[in-house]
Amino acid sequence: MAKAKKLPSGNWRVQATAHGQTKSFTGPDRKMVEIEAAQWQAGITDTPNELTLDKAYDRYIESKSKVLSPATIRKYKTMRRTYFQDLMLYRVDKIKSEMIQRSVNEIAAEHSPKTVRNIYGLLTAVLSVYRPQFRPNISLPQKVKPEIYVPTKSEVKAVLEAAKGTGYYTAILLGACCGMRAGEICALDSDDIHDGKIHVKKSLVCGEDGQWRTKPPKSFSGDRNIEMPETVKNALQGIQGKIVPYNPHSLSVGFRRILKKNNLPLFRFHDLRHFYVSELFDMGLPEKYIIAQVGHSSASITKAVYDHINSERQSEYALDIAKRFSDF
């Protein structure tokens, strides 16, 4: 992208060359001028101020298609088709805060605060590129502390017992005793297992075309080695090639079917990771080690599970304290 230079007048100017000609772009906002010049070089005739919001969304999503996961791009496209539809045909430079607020209020009436923030976050990302000087003044719904479900040991044992003799048994064991994600389990094969450890280096994800593909982890922390308990070693012994014959969707559906059939509490397959984290904390292992084992990109997710465990044990701690000082 050609860089803008500041003129004595205070405006910014870019001289761009393309299509056998040179053209100047001038304006008060540096980033807007640079975007306008870059779009002209790319053969896009609309200037940022002529762009409608739907076109801005499309261009933004296309620009991210090579750097974000297929699942994220698919989610962005769904948001683009579903939300802020009353604003899509407006020019980007004509959109006002009150227009956005009305749409946000409608979305908030049907979705959780977290979902609303995600939807609004994509809109602001688009606007930051195509109208960087615009700072919408929007009131968003208050954040709600997410409810975290941590299955008990008896619940995990019960679902494992119910899954014995099926392919789901091994998957559940890997989730509960190794803290692996569903996509990681479904991508796992025997070549990833060495010297009592599982090398997690890929995940099975669904592309925009609905096809499942193996991809590397989304973050550096996702690539990790997990120590296998003896139970897991025994379950995997002799398996060659793919460890489980499922994709993440069919695994989640099958897991829920087992819970329902056996009248067990209905929790997500992903909650088995919460159980794993809770067990490691209960063992007194260092937080950094636990974060590395589960492949969390930050301590905040691990801490959320830890805080949930602590809150559930408040009454136990109170009794312990009462007993400790009962002799005084």
How large is the average pLDDT for residues 120-140?
91
**pLDDT tens figures, 210-236:** 788 898 887 777 889 998 999 999 999
Q: Please give the C-alpha separations between residue 59 and each of 45, 69, 203, 254, 256, in angstroms, as whole numbers.
A: 13, 17, 28, 38, 39
Q: Is the separation of the CB atoms in 35 and 27 below 8 Å?
A: no
Q: Is the separation of the CB atoms in 130 and 56 below 8 Å?
A: yes
Q: Please give the C-alpha separations between residue 239 and each of 125, 176, 191, 234, 235, in angstroms, as whole numbers.
A: 46, 19, 10, 10, 9
Residues 6+ apart with CB under 8 A from 263: none
Name the pTM for this structure.
0.62
Q: Is the separation of the CB atoms in 87 and 99 below 8 Å?
A: yes
Q: Which fold has domain 5-130?
A: DNA polymerase; domain 1 (1.10.150)
Is pLDDT above 80 for 131?
yes
Q: Which CATH architecture has domain 153-315?
A: Orthogonal Bundle (1.10)
Domain boundaries, the chain: 5-130, 153-315
What pLDDT is attached to residue 96?
95
Q: Is the separation of the CB atoms in 62 and 44 below 8 Å?
A: no
Q: Is the separation of the CB atoms in 105 and 139 below 8 Å?
A: no
Residue 57: helix, strand or coil by DSSP? helix
The DSSP 8-state label assigned to residue 46 in this structure reads -
**pLDDT tens figures, 36-53:** 777 666 655 455 557 899
What pLDDT is attached to residue 160?
96
Q: Is the separation of the CB atoms in 90 and 51 below 8 Å?
A: no
What pLDDT is attached to residue 326?
56
Is pLDDT above 70 for 24?
yes
For residue 301, give the amino acid letter: I
